[in-house]
Structure 1
Amino acid sequence: MDRLPDEVVLQILAFLQVDDVVHIQAVSRRFLTLGRDNTLWKTVCFEDSKAESLRRRNFLLDKQDARIAELRNAVTALPGPDLTAWDVSQLRGSPQPRASHDPEAEARIQRARALANWEPGYPDEQLDYYEEYLQRHAPIDVAWLDLPKTQATDKEKSREATGSGTLTNADGNVEHLVAPLDDGSICVWDVSDRSTAGVGGRGRLITQSRPGLLTGLAPEAIAESHIKMTETGATECVSIDSDSKKGYFAVQNLLHEVDLHTLQIVSTKRYPWPVTALSEAKGKTPITVGTNWTVHLHDPRDPAFSDSNTDAGGELIGGSTYSHATLAESGPLSIVHDAGLSQDDSSIWIAGRFTSLLNYDRRFFPRLRGTIHSGARIAALGTLPYPLVPQTLDLIRNPEASISALLSARSTPGTTILAAAEYKGKGSLELYGLPRVQPYQNRQTASASKLLAVAPHGGRIVFSDGDGNLKWVERDGFSHVRTFNINDVLPGKSGVQDASSYGIWSSTASELPGQGDIVQKITPMHPVSSSSTASSIGGGRPDVNQSNLLLWTGDGRLGMLGFGPANPLGDDQWHEAVEAGAKTVEGRAKEDAERQYGMAMRRALERNADEVRFVRGLGFMG
């Protein structure tokens, strides 16, 4: 084998099972490189994709006996959750134009079209398809970060995170997680990547400020700080400037600028209404601040916003930041700045409880430049620095579309705004292509509940909903990849679902979704960038499968979602051994008794609620 050229070895690997290709990487350095060949894993990903399964299904349907057509049409007419209108028309036997009369040539052409249509990568994008395969098929696990404990009651309880932000390195990859807590303090965790030369951050708590820093209250006033930190309920209340190592934290109608080196407040700005959304802080671009009824530009270089005179005489972008835009409707929840790939990189996009996306130009602020009507109420925005391909260029669902037209659309400069929204009680995943607005709205198969967060993740899009689900779809916005429920890995969960967990705490009498935690914010460890390149960490090669997701949940938890059997934060055997030894037999018995008592009380309350509903149905209660 050592004498064979790489091309021959790769041809042999193409006939092996996936498990064998993974195991062969441990043979030598050469086989490690060949076993992670990008072209090889791109083919493997495609073979297990919905696009290839759809092509094979159509191929088999064409070969079916005509006598089965009536039965097939009758089954197709039945309602099904996984069938689109196009799928139904195809299953009913609509004729398709053929590219060749030779069956083998026709199969090769259709496979090439399906591959070109499925490929998530853009011409100038570097996707690692080995990681893509892992993130599409490997087991999912979530490691929860340790939050500081409180001794306010006789039972030890963890503090709650009221937001999250990230510090990134020069390559744009996340190294530290920054979060305010409900006691008014700020914590910083090390979540840096593992490599062949280091074990990574492992989610260690690096530092914590004093309680009450953000609320201005005494460290002992924990209850008062909790009320102030959780009253507004804003999701985008933290913005981190990785260049200057400054953090911006919104607490009610105050915006605090904090030096992350010393964890001390540098300046504070008061706004007329509670702050509900902050844009990202990056370079010298002013931060966009959204309150209940207004939109402001916050420039730290303005001496009115800073106690220091650093760069006080610098040129301010957009004129005086004292000017503001007034909103006709309340409730901005998410703000994004243009990714800079379109003709104009000074755009500000604002969305929220109103049914349109508002577009401002920073150079002519506060004049409104335009709007995009959605009809849905948007909870979160994200950006993908690549153009949105129109649905008319779908090579599978539109046989008349050409591969050249698809490649031309992919090569056109542009960016895509991702929106997680709610439309008439159901989830709506919305994509808006820029600079020429090309909207696509998935309001049929996204989710049965409101969408809460959205982000690009590798060659896919990930979003969360109100039932605790995390869902991955292809970049077309509707081709499902996989689903994971965050409540399956909550801390302290036994893993066995109580069969009687229904009643007053359930969304319905027979369904379990709606009881547990939800994901409010998703932050990729390696954000998708048009200039993303592989980087070295501490002189070593970055470990595989590091494109994890940082999660902030509705119950104030912080976690890292990873793929594969390993702990997403890395193995810490000493730490786990200490924790295991600390739990005595009596302690474990006490925990088990408390859990059994809680389950018994829950069942009793559920039976009582069912009896109340039964009596009310008989008409004995008003």
Structure 2
Amino acid sequence: MPEKNNFMSLPDEILLHIIKFLEIQDVVKLQSVCRKFLSICRDNPHWRKRCLHASTSLEHVSLFRRGSDWIDEEGIPLSRAAPTDSHPLQHHNVIERIGMLASRKRQREYSRIAANWDPTFPGEKTNWYNEYIQRHGPVVTNWFERPQSEGPTADIIDVRGIALYRPLEAENQLFAVSPLDDGSICLWDVKGTKSRKGSILSKSRSGLLWHPEGMPSVKKPVRSIDRGIIECVSVDNHRHAAFFALGNKIDLQAMAIITVTPFERMIMTMSAANTSVPLTVGTFNGLYLHDYRIGQAPHHEKHEVVEPFPLSRVLNDWRPLPPYAPLAQPGPQYIHHMDYPGHPGQLSDDIFVAGRFTSILHYDRRMFPSIKGSLHSGGRLCSLTSLPYPFSSVDSDLRRRLELTEEQVIESKNAAGGRTLIACGEYNTKGSLEIYGLSSEYQDGNQNCVSYNSTTKNRQTASSSKLLSVINHGNRIVFSDGQGYLKWMERDGFTEVRRHKIGKVEKEDDTQRSLFGTMPGSDDIARKILSTRTEVGSSTANDDDILFWTGETLGLVNFTSKSSFFPEDFIENNKCSIEEEAAKQERVYAKRMRLALERQADEVRFVQNLGMPRD
């Protein structure tokens, strides 16, 4: 009778100790054996250590050094433990004692380095298994289905913006909402809960956004969202409504206009919509607080005057214009509503505005339209995000060099009333990543003062081109640049974690590759990026991807080894076998011609270099 295998009966601590010696690929495979191994292999502290050991910030640090640089608690170097012939027993005791002291010292040093490296703050929940995947796992680009016009030509319609729509908090549903070039609205399924992942879920009729009341000063043929406007759509998930830069409020469930709010000038940007606060709208030269929660008459209701002018009724029905704050310099590009310190998701009264001016403007919703302050940048900023946790440029620099003690790290992370504002843009044609530390003072439970006490600006290693969009992704900062890269940084703003080039919106197939596909500048760029994380999906492994908009189409960056879908995959194939064979032969012929042209170009370059003089 075979002996019973008692391996599964071992305590979880012993099994976890064994697992830590396995390679990453083996640990991933071990998760599928049973639920017990799945639970053990997802141990959070285990993956935190894995992230620490693989971190680029520890490349210059040897955690287990040996030699005279290790000093014991009495100040005796370890090299003093040299062997002597006269006292062999004493030498053995010294070796044992110093070995124990060195082990404890290495453990304390390891804890100190781990505390300096750890990017999390007290009370912040982190799934370190997901962190490891997003830091060191494979990454690929997928492209969403491209909308087409109706008719025999079926032309591709460009996408003019993007926002995320979460209809149900209890389910892991996530849709992308975008205005199209033909005035329609399109919804894509991001998570694949209602349809195929990346496919079009619904599309409104053409010209829905071109309502004559939306932009009274603009003629209908040009009544569309300008291509230079990035933040042109905002979604209220609770009311299932979307706001567009033409002044329209759209019901996303019925795909119909609810109200139209005319603005005197073109809308340049909008804040994220939230039921608890009014929407902040930025026009060419001013800011508005648009409280869409106040009931308004539907756009189709018209009142005709058939009697003498009813002045009393007009005065009773008159509604004042929304609060307006003029800008000294035109061109706002991003409006950010900041959270309360230490409370993610709870919006405060602070509004920050960035744009084609050299400072970040700070407004308080309670004192609007008076400006509360400004943060001088010197660059042209186009995107903002924030963290409800403190930031100090001095402490951040010392932590990046792993020089703080554990007590100092804890003190810096527990600063009361601290928040972090992150901005990106351009400074002297180069990318600029800027981090501002804000501190709030409270009296009688009310926030009465915000001080700007710390600033860090990375204009050297961020990017050689303009930064376009920045968000928080897990415990990291991710931004896109003008070279087509997505770059992940630690929260210090200088330590690069990884980078990925999104590529081109075409299938990586030799038979379909363009002759100019490998030329510099042929790749797409991510003009806006968004995290696909949901509250329901936060406990799901590898469910936080990067959704991006190139200015013409949508894409999704997944942390997997193989791309899942391309725009061509959503096109129904109605061709017969003869047509498919002809198309295949055409692709083969195109491949041969491309190779012939490439070889001819190589020969021309080789012949040209033959007559060059030698140095």
Larger radius of gyration: 2
User: Within 2, Cα distance between the matches of 1:500 and 1:206?
Assistant: 34
User: Within 1, Cα distance between the matches of 2:472 and 2:133?
Assistant: 16
Q: CA deviation at 1:490?
A: 2.8
User: Within 1, Cα distance between the matches of 2:394 and 2:171?
Assistant: 31
Q: CA deviation at 1:322?
A: 2.8
The answer on whether the counterparts of 1:184 and 1:225 sit within 8 Å (CA) in structure 2 is: no
Cα separation, partners in 2 of 1:543 and 1:57, compared to 1, 3 Å: closer
Cα separation, partners in 2 of 1:340 and 1:305, compared to 1, 3 Å: farther
Paired AA for residue 346 in structure 1: D
* 1:24 has 2:30 as partner: yes
Cα separation, partners in 2 of 1:147 and 1:193, compared to 1, 3 Å: closer
Cα separation, partners in 2 of 1:492 and 1:533, compared to 1, 3 Å: closer
Q: CA deviation at 1:410?
A: 1.7
Paired AA for residue 147 in structure 2: P
Residue 158 of structure 2 aligns with which residue? 160
Residue 130 of structure 1 aligns with which residue? 129
Q: CA deviation at 1:457?
A: 0.4
Counterpart among 492, 509, 513 of residue 507 in structure 2: 492
TM-score, normalised to structure 2, is 0.76
Paired AA for residue 368 in structure 2: F
Residue 559 of structure 2 aligns with which residue? 563
**Percent identical residues:** 34
Deviation track 1:169-225 (CA, whole Å, cap 9, x = no partner) reads: 42796611111111110011222367xxxx9752332211101111248xxxxxx98
Residue 333 of structure 1 aligns with which residue? 333
User: Within 2, Cα distance between the matches of 1:573 and 1:8?
Assistant: 50
Please show how residues 239-258 of structure 1 align to structure 2 within 5 Å: 239-250=234-245, 254-258=246-250
Residue 382 of structure 1 aligns with which residue? 385
Give the number of equivalent residue pairs.
Answer: 529
The answer on whether the counterparts of 2:172 and 2:537 sit within 8 Å (CA) in structure 1 is: no
* 1:182 has 2:181 as partner: yes
Give the SS at the match of 1:345.
strand
Counterpart among 358, 376, 395 of residue 392 in structure 1: 395
User: Within 2, Cα distance between the matches of 1:390 and 1:58?
Assistant: 29
User: Within 1, Cα distance between the matches of 2:68 and 2:571?
Assistant: 57
Residue 581 of structure 2 aligns with which residue? 585
Paired AA for residue 448 in structure 1: S
Counterpart among 415, 420, 445 of residue 419 in structure 2: 415
Q: CA deviation at 1:387?
A: 2.3
User: Within 2, Cα distance between the matches of 1:230 and 1:491?
Assistant: 26
Residue 550 of structure 1 aligns with which residue? 547
Counterpart among 423, 429, 434 of residue 438 in structure 2: 434
User: Within 2, Cα distance between the matches of 1:500 and 1:176?
Assistant: 35
The answer on whether the counterparts of 1:232 and 1:274 sit within 8 Å (CA) in structure 2 is: no
The answer on whether the counterparts of 2:338 and 2:350 sit within 8 Å (CA) in structure 1 is: yes
Residue 11 of structure 2 aligns with which residue? 5
Q: CA deviation at 1:580?
A: 10
Give the SS at the match of 2:112.
helix
Q: CA deviation at 1:496?
A: 10
Residue 231 of structure 1 aligns with which residue? 226
Any stretches of 5+ residues in structure 1 without a counterpart? 64-99, 218-223, 310-318, 507-511, 536-541, 609-622
Moved more, 375-384 or 458-467: 375-384
The answer on whether the counterparts of 2:354 and 2:384 sit within 8 Å (CA) in structure 1 is: yes
The answer on whether the counterparts of 1:274 and 1:291 sit within 8 Å (CA) in structure 2 is: yes
Residue 88 of structure 1 aligns with which residue? none
Any stretches of 5+ residues in structure 2 without a counterpart? 1-6, 70-98, 213-218, 302-318, 440-450, 605-615
Paired AA for residue 357 in structure 1: I
Residue 615 of structure 1 aligns with which residue? none
Cα separation, partners in 2 of 1:61 and 1:208, compared to 1, 3 Å: farther
Cα separation, partners in 2 of 1:598 and 1:17, compared to 1, 3 Å: closer
Q: CA deviation at 1:552?
A: 0.6
Cα separation, partners in 2 of 1:484 and 1:58, compared to 1, 3 Å: farther
Cα separation, partners in 2 of 1:4 and 1:463, compared to 1, 3 Å: same
* 1:515 has 2:522 as partner: yes
Q: CA deviation at 1:389?
A: 4.3
TM-score, normalised to structure 1, is 0.75
* 1:300 has 2:316 as partner: no
Give the SS at the match of 1:113.
helix
Deviation track 1:423-466 (CA, whole Å, cap 9, x = no partner) reads: 11110111122234222111111000000000000111110000
The answer on whether the counterparts of 2:258 and 2:299 sit within 8 Å (CA) in structure 1 is: yes
User: Within 1, Cα distance between the matches of 2:540 and 2:393?
Assistant: 36
The answer on whether the counterparts of 1:551 and 1:559 sit within 8 Å (CA) in structure 2 is: yes
The answer on whether the counterparts of 1:473 and 1:482 sit within 8 Å (CA) in structure 2 is: yes
Give the SS at the match of 1:213.
coil
Cα separation, partners in 2 of 1:574 and 1:172, compared to 1, 3 Å: closer
The answer on whether the counterparts of 2:400 and 2:492 sit within 8 Å (CA) in structure 1 is: no
Cα separation, partners in 2 of 1:264 and 1:476, compared to 1, 3 Å: same
User: Within 2, Cα distance between the matches of 1:518 and 1:227?
Assistant: 26
Residue 259 of structure 1 aligns with which residue? 251
Cα separation, partners in 2 of 1:567 and 1:607, compared to 1, 3 Å: closer
The answer on whether the counterparts of 1:561 and 1:568 sit within 8 Å (CA) in structure 2 is: no
Cα separation, partners in 2 of 1:592 and 1:351, compared to 1, 3 Å: farther
Cα separation, partners in 2 of 1:62 and 1:471, compared to 1, 3 Å: farther
Cα separation, partners in 2 of 1:447 and 1:580, compared to 1, 3 Å: farther
User: Within 2, Cα distance between the matches of 1:44 and 1:579?
Assistant: 50
Paired AA for residue 12 in structure 2: D
Q: CA deviation at 1:231?
A: 3.1
Residue 115 of structure 2 aligns with which residue? 116
Cα separation, partners in 2 of 1:138 and 1:110, compared to 1, 3 Å: same
User: Within 2, Cα distance between the matches of 1:428 and 1:58?
Assistant: 37
User: Within 1, Cα distance between the matches of 2:557 and 2:387?
Assistant: 21
